[in-house]
Chains A and B, each alone.
Chain A
């Protein structure tokens, strides 16, 4: 079996990940905005005698990389060992895409050009002459539509053919005056043993003219550096003067621009310019006056749906798990195993799975936002607003992903170039409530607010989190990170109709992950909670109470004694002891020891808050008939403490997975330390303030 390694490179949002999905059946994340893929991903496919490894790289506008995720792609292209480059370009914006293609061709590697999205250009009556392009560029060209699965399999065939044949001769030459200088540099480079290969030397020379800092670093430590440096200075001045440009990088860009214009002129029949759907939608959706209100309405609608539609199957799921629990009680003999299942794991897992519908609706909303192209519009609409808080519009994209899950959101912050912007965004990302916090909110809202208000309350919780995040961003910007936020320049993709298949796939993946988590992590955690809350046994207390119960005749008094016994026993359990130790911390915000334990357990994962509450309040209740957790919460928790709990959940540290992602993405120890402490401190302070305020208001 022969192994071929292929680097898939191209500008952002041209459909690289879609192509891989279409060819290999992989499920890479796809979205209609720049910067969906922020980390390289390998996908394998076998064909005949070949095992082909395709590396999906983050989109990169130019080899003069700009943002951290672009540097990931550039670093791969420069430093890794691969057999050929597949360069994907967007047929709609071919001429600017080809400029990057030329930079790639300068690398003098085997290369294939894939012109994607031809379905869109054909629909508008345009046409691309593949053979003309091949002839002019001197590399193989494949026309594809990942959406309609056209031409994509041909990419694989072409990869094999290209791999097996000689690299075609370079056909890309720049203006004579530029070439002259390239040759001068190459001559000097040849003096060093590192640059004996003429093609490689040519590449280095061109990159030096393009003012590529990474290449400059390579030559910096070589003996030829002094000679080269002196000559480069001269060449820069000469060329800049000759072309009347500020930098040789502009000179090269200008030439590539002209070349690509000429290429497009010859090989492309452009569609007639018409008013497109995108133009018409944008007239409304990013209208100077109506744009923002429309956006807020969409968000409100999403949370309304999340609550309303999500609650429909809830009772059914709840009932199913109660049934299951009762069945276990009926089938298994009394004892520890029966109890751990019926009182521990099943109610806990059930209490979480109940919220799956809510979570799926939320994810559906986010996915549609990503797929349609509206995401980039929201960045546009909110940029001015975000600027007031020391951030830029693009930061809104990771923040929105944060409503789904904080882990990919931390990764998405890579699309922010400026390290300060990036760290501020990451520090406030935790305040964008992730979908795992949703169950806690839905539970508490269900218990303490009238049903008609529920969707609005949920919306308010999310918005307050976002506003708090912005305020904190402003404070961080003024106190710790002085200076201007990074400039905002962003491509606005055309609106695209969301693919229902991609949506279904996304929801299916989320469902599977969620069920898996509930079945393993949450079940395990609830087993621990059950164990800690059941042991050690308290035979004396039980005996004393049983005796008392024996002696009373009154049924009501009996039940009361029974309850008292159970809660006494629970308080003496390991978990009760832990809760007692935590109590001083949480007492000022009105938490009993059970809530305290639940909040701390939530540091592992936010779903655990709900499952722990379910276990603790279930164990502590003798009355098997009032089975719903909602009922028990209403009986045991005050309104103001419930609000304080919501505030804590909204602000304090995210789950372990998110924390470790932050750890990996942020190498500075100062920020790691800060990140561990400040959200928890802030959470407590805010909860205290809210609790006291409500207390003062007489709740």
Chain B
């Protein structure tokens, strides 16, 4: 289990845990990011300040801080 900010572009896995606080947690959930859902890391900006992930057909942009609160369960995903 590790935060998605530790992952490379292209890596995917299952969300193990979301540590964000409300109301961000609720917002992430409304966008389909919840414990147990599939997630794929699509992109980040050059300074890795903003990330893009995909879950169940929805693409979501988030800041590093929020991205770091999403923990992923995956084997082949090291930086």
Instruction: Give chain A's interface residues, CB within 8 Å of chain B.
Output: 11, 61-62, 64, 66, 92-93, 95-96, 99-100, 211, 247, 249-250, 253-254, 257, 278, 282, 286-289, 291, 376, 379-381, 383-384, 387, 392-393, 487-494
Contact check: which of A11, A487, A494 meets B24 at CB < 8 Å? A487
Closest chain-B Cβ to A30's Cβ sits at a distance in Å of 20
Contact across chains for B50 and A488 when beta carbons are under 8 A apart: yes
Expressed in whole angstroms, the Cα–Cα distance for A138 and B59 within the complex equals: 30
Contact across chains for B59 and A250 when beta carbons are under 8 A apart: no
Closest chain-A Cβ to B52's Cβ sits at a distance in Å of 6
A66: chain B residues at CB < 8 Å are 23, 26-27
B28: chain A residues at CB < 8 Å are 489
A278: chain B residues at CB < 8 Å are 59
Contact check: which of B26, B37, B59, B61 meets A488 at CB < 8 Å? B61
Q: How large is the interface on B (under 10, 10 to 19, 20 to 34, 35 or more residues)?
A: 20 to 34
Contact across chains for B61 and A96 when beta carbons are under 8 A apart: no
13-60 of chain B: CB within 8 A of chain A:
22-32, 34-37, 42-47, 49-50, 52, 56-60
Instruction: Give chain B's interface residues, CB within 8 Å of chain A.
Output: 22-32, 34-37, 42-47, 49-50, 52, 56-63, 65-66
Closest chain-B Cβ to A623's Cβ sits at a distance in Å of 58
What are 29 pairs between A and B in contact, CB < 8 Å? A61-B30, A64-B26, A93-B56, A95-B32, A96-B58, A99-B30, A100-B30, A249-B26, A250-B25, A250-B29, A282-B52, A286-B43, A286-B52, A288-B44, A288-B45, A289-B46, A381-B45, A383-B63, A393-B50, A393-B61, A487-B24, A487-B62, A487-B65, A487-B66, A489-B27, A490-B61, A491-B60, A492-B52, A494-B59
Closest chain-A Cβ to B9's Cβ sits at a distance in Å of 8
- Chain B residue at minimum C-beta to C-beta distance from A381: B45
Expressed in whole angstroms, the Cα–Cα distance for A93 and B59 within the complex equals: 10
Contact across chains for A253 and B56 when beta carbons are under 8 A apart: no
Closest chain-A Cβ to B5's Cβ sits at a distance in Å of 14
Contact across chains for B31 and A61 when beta carbons are under 8 A apart: yes
B32: chain A residues at CB < 8 Å are 93, 95-96
Closest chain-B Cβ to A234's Cβ sits at a distance in Å of 21
- Chain B residue at minimum C-beta to C-beta distance from A257: B34
Contact check: which of B46, B52, B56, B66 meets A95 at CB < 8 Å? B56
Expressed in whole angstroms, the Cα–Cα distance for A492 and B52 within the complex equals: 9
Expressed in whole angstroms, the Cα–Cα distance for A172 and B24 within the complex equals: 27
- Chain A residue at minimum C-beta to C-beta distance from B58: A93
Known contacts A383-B50, A384-B49; is-contact A376 B29 (Cβ 8 Å) = no
Contact across chains for A489 and B61 when beta carbons are under 8 A apart: yes
Contact across chains for A96 and B49 when beta carbons are under 8 A apart: no
- Chain A residue at minimum C-beta to C-beta distance from B50: A383
A491: chain B residues at CB < 8 Å are 31, 58-61
Contact across chains for A380 and B50 when beta carbons are under 8 A apart: yes
- Chain A residue at minimum C-beta to C-beta distance from B36: A257
Known contacts A254-B35, A384-B49; is-contact A92 B26 (Cβ 8 Å) = no
Expressed in whole angstroms, the Cα–Cα distance for A62 and B43 within the complex equals: 26
Closest chain-A Cβ to B70's Cβ sits at a distance in Å of 11
Expressed in whole angstroms, the Cα–Cα distance for A31 and B12 within the complex equals: 30
A286: chain B residues at CB < 8 Å are 43, 52
Apart from the given pairs A383-B63, A384-B47, A489-B66, 13 other A-B contacts in the complex at a CB distance below 8 Å: A61-B27, A62-B27, A95-B32, A249-B22, A249-B26, A257-B29, A287-B43, A381-B45, A383-B45, A384-B45, A487-B62, A492-B61, A494-B59
Enumerate the 7 nearest inter-chain pairs by beta-carbon distance, A residue then B residue, closest first. A384-B49, A61-B30, A492-B59, A96-B32, A383-B50, A380-B61, A488-B63
